[in-house]
Structure 1
Amino acid sequence: MFHVNQDELLNPDKALEIILDSVPTLETEVVELAESLGRALAEDIIADSDLPPFDNSTMDGYAVIAADTTGATEHEPRRLTVLSEEPAGTVISEKVTPRTAVRIMTGAAIPTGADAVVIVEHTITPQDRESDVLIYHEVKRGENTRPAGEDVKRGEVVLRAGARIGPAEMGMLASLGKAKIRVTRKPRVALITTGNEIVDVNDIPGPGQIRDSNRYCVLGQVLVSGGMVSMFRRVSDKSGDMEQALLAAAEVSDIIITTGGVSVGRYDLVKDAITELGELYFWKIALKPGKPVVYAKIAGKPAFGLPGNPVSSMVTFDLFVRPAMLRMMGVRDINRATVPSIVQQNIKHEVGRREFVRAVTIWRENGYISTPTGSQGSGRLSSMLGANSYIIISEDRGNISAGEQLEVILWSP
């Protein structure tokens, strides 16, 4: 069953809409905090205590009553009696009273009675009485201290369901004592590469053969996107082999990805195999690179037929497979940042298809600037090296002149 006209060049936005509307959200599971990187939270995280849990010092120095330092200068220091010393991780019993102080280390709890910290650089230990300290800088109440709950307050929703866990999120979860986290499970991805001309990375290519770069490009993209590969298979351009591989993939995966075999050549068998086995949604997009992209369901599993050219495969993965994976993982915000940027050189472009030009984008002075990474041929894998963005050229635009401002998709964060 075709969801769009077979001969229609589908708008890329419509293609993504069709995909996202048809993919399921996967089940949840509980994982150790150390294993949660890149996963999506399946529940809100609510603080059960303040962070920090107590008033503490932000500097090494002396915990004092701020009023005792009023008017202190190098020429007229204030002399205080040092009661004790408090390193981080301990709590002393002494109470700071007028004209007394406690030597304190960064992170240590503010002693009872104190309301400020004088940094050690603004103090001197007098020679006549080493149990005293001379303060020669006035401080205000609360200075060089961090109050309880300054970072997070008890009862606060710190992270929402759907947030993707990065290093900062892991640190916050650890601070809140969350040793185990409920997340959406990783999508299992079956990866099938096609072509009689493809050989393994360990093989020496014969006449007319090339090594299977797509396997590793897409593998890397799957892993970076948060998935796991449940099946690898290389399939020849022989009728029947693709059908068997697709059926096997549907049994062990949540998503099926093939590379190659999606165009209109005599040996491009992927579309026909998918049509035979499942439900075809579309197979051509008004896109450059990557016009032939198959999207279908096989045994209810989303199946993507990506082009065989490595750049086309990587670009279409980024634009369609990655968002689908993130949606299945329960990630709330699946979009990468898009920013306006000044293009640094002329770019040839024909009206009719939306183009995604590989580029290096940097911030300079008052805004972003973007420079294409050389030749943009769909077989030029080197155009992806060093790139960190896509310059978007809309389908209604012709050639682009250096100095024009276009929208750019940043690959990270």
Structure 2
Amino acid sequence: MASKVFVPSRPWQEALEEFLGALRSSGYLTKLPEEEIEVTRALGRVTAAPVYAAISSPHYPAAAMDGIAVRAEITFGAGEQKPLELALGREAVVVDTGDPLPEGTDAVIMVEEVTFQDKTTAVIRRPAVPGQNVRPVGEDITAGEMLVPAHYILSPYDLGGLLAAGVTRVKVRPRPGVAILPTGTELVPPNPNPAPGEILESNGAMLAALVGQWGGTPEVYPITPDDYQLLKERLDRALGEKDLVLINAGSSAGREDYTARLVEEMGHLLTHGVATKPGKPVILGIVRDKPVIGVPGYPVSAALCAELFVKPVLYYRQGSNPPARAQVRAVLSRKIHSPLGREEFVRVRLEREGDRLIATPTSRGAATIMALARADGIVVVPRLSEGFPAGQEVMVYLLRPVPPAP
């Protein structure tokens, strides 16, 4: 398989499609594993097969109200001017919500409509009808009914429905294990007193949090200095332990940027460089039939590359489709200028002005992580566009909920 080394004019969509196609051909995205777990631990998991109800819910005719259970026929004729007395225990049985309907009864009169004359007699002033305040068998769920399909992400409400239908275990896709390898001799663990030239390693935690949001199980490996052999050993270990490897930094074409050469040596290097800003030097490769992604070191570039390339791989590995980001229309407060040839992802803040949303571009540096943390959304400038003028309405892909209307 021919490698494509540092071709920054390549659209990221084209690189992603080739990457996913190669992963499908290898079986990584088609021969998906499964595991069976307790329903109580299945929140957010993707089903590996349809799930069917083991029992109906309710599985017996049940009282839907507190009151008295009666045979409706004997109450016909009761009225305000003609109250009807019922013998408790024989013609009427006191029931609570959820109780089984006593044999020979077919309706429940709510307690608010009953007067208890004494411990043996109940008085009613309106008739009941068959089925009144009664939950029939299978009102909510019928035994054998499909509750959720395959490739479905289980919500809290689904868990309740499964348990109500007698389902206690469910087959799901395992959470992909993701190794995150921070690299760079200049990196040090986060601390309040770094020396000049030391860079605090923060991308690992950010990438791990994103992986967790997308259904993966991340592990941040120890910082690897710029040593080719040591990085090779760490990658070899990670491939043996995890389903996906992210190598953070070392993805450019500098003297100590080893990731592309290492991936090409150990497997297939598919892409090195895409036409995006930020995030140009991303690396996409396959080693031992597992994806290896070289993530740029600048935080904003790392976050964007994770969104574009890591997110879809994780969702498809779990047999699901990556969800689209929510979108809103907004008016630019000032001009966005962008160079031709690269698709640019511009961070914006959103504010309401009357009934309009106003989008204001923030700092566009790839190293300015707080600009991303404070952004409300992203405006995408196409590769063959030089930007947008002030006042133009644009699509904003939301990073957080849109500011509420006053």
Question: Partner amino acid for 1:22?
Answer: A
Tell which deviates more after alignment, 395-404 or 308-317: 395-404
Q: SS state of the match for residue 30, structure 1?
A: strand
Length-normalised TM-score, structure 2: 0.81
1:15 matched to which residue of 2? 15
Distance 2:375 2:81 in 1: 61
Residue number in structure 2 paired with 1:109: 100
Specify the code of the residue in structure 2 equivalent to 1:29.
Answer: E
Say whether 1:346 aligns with 2:352. Answer: no
Who is 2:310 aligned against?
321
- Return closer, same or farther for 1:71/1:197 CA change in 2, 3 Å cut-off: farther
Contact 2:15/2:274 (8 A) holds in 1? yes
1:306 and 2:295 aligned? yes
- How far residue 386 of structure 1 moved from its aligned partner, in angstroms, is 6.4
Match of 1:27 among 24, 27, 33: 33
Structure 1 window deviating more from structure 2 (3-12 vs 311-320): it is 3-12
Alpha-carbon shift at residue 284 of structure 1 (Å) = 1.9
Question: What is the identity, as a one-letter code, of the residue corresponding to 2:251?
Answer: V
- Residues 319 and 400 of structure 1, relative CA distance in 2, 3 Å threshold: farther
Residue of structure 1 equivalent to 2:171: 182
Q: Equivalent pairs: percent with the same residue?
A: 29
Aligned residues of 1:290 and 1:313 also touching (Cα < 8 A)? yes
Q: What residue identity is the alignment partner of 1:219? A: A
Question: 1:279, CA displacement in angstroms?
Answer: 0.7
How big is each residue's C-alpha offset from its partner over 1:356-408, in whole Å with a ceiling of 9 and x where there is no partner? 45568899999x96856844533232244366765544445522655725263
SS in 2 for 1:297: strand
Shift of 1:282: 0.8
Rounded Cα–Cα distance in structure 2 between residues aligned with 1:139 and 1:380: 70
Relative to structure 1, is the Cα distance of residues 53 and 258 closer, same or farther in structure 2, using a 3 angstrom cutoff?
same
Q: 1:377 aligns with which of 365, 380, 385?
A: 365
1:42 aligns with 2:48: yes
Q: Deviations over 1:324-363 (max 9, x none)?
A: 11212223xx221444412254362525433445568899
Aligned residue in 1 for 2:57: 51
Distance (whole Å) between structure 2 residues aligned to residue 402 and residue 78 of structure 1: 74
Instruction: Point out where structure 1 has 5 or more consecutive residues left out of the alignment.
Output: 85-93, 95-99
| Closer/same/farther in 2, CA of residues 355 and 139 from structure 1, 3 Å limit | farther
Normalising by structure 1, report the TM-score: 0.80
Structure 2 CA distance for aligned equivalents of residues 387 and 82 of structure 1: 70
Distance in 2 of aligned mates of 1:78 and 1:387: 69
CA distance in 2, matches of 1:370, 1:2: 46
| 1:61 and 2:67 correspond | yes
Q: How many residues align?
A: 392
Gaps of 5+ in 2: 402-406
Q: Could you tell me which of 281, 285, 289 is aligned with 1:292?
A: 281
Distance 1:330 1:163 in 2: 8
The amino acid across from 2:322 in the alignment is N
SS of match in other structure, 1:382: helix
Counterpart residue type for residue 125 of structure 1: T
Match of 1:205 in 2: 194
2:88 corresponds to? 83
Provide the C-alpha distance between the structure 2 equivalents of 1:134 and 1:275, rounded to a whole number of angstroms.
Answer: 87
RMSD (CA atoms): 3.7
Which digits, 9 at most, give the CA deviation of each residue in 1:196-252, with x for residues without a partner? Answer: 221112473110222211111111222232222356131122343322322222222
Separation (CA, whole Å) in 2 of partners of 1:256 and 1:30:
25
Amino acid in structure 2 at the alignment position of 1:108 = D
Distance 1:26 1:268 in 2: 33
Deviation, 1:306, is 1.0
- Per the TM alignment, residue 11 of structure 1 is displaced from its structure 2 partner at its CA by 2.4
CA contact (8 A) 1:230 1:252 kept: no
Q: Which runs of 4+ in 1 moved over 6 A?
A: 67-73, 359-366
Report the counterpart of residue 89 of structure 1 in structure 2: none
Cα separation, partners in 2 of 1:106 and 1:365, compared to 1, 3 Å = farther
Aligned with 1:250: secondary structure? helix
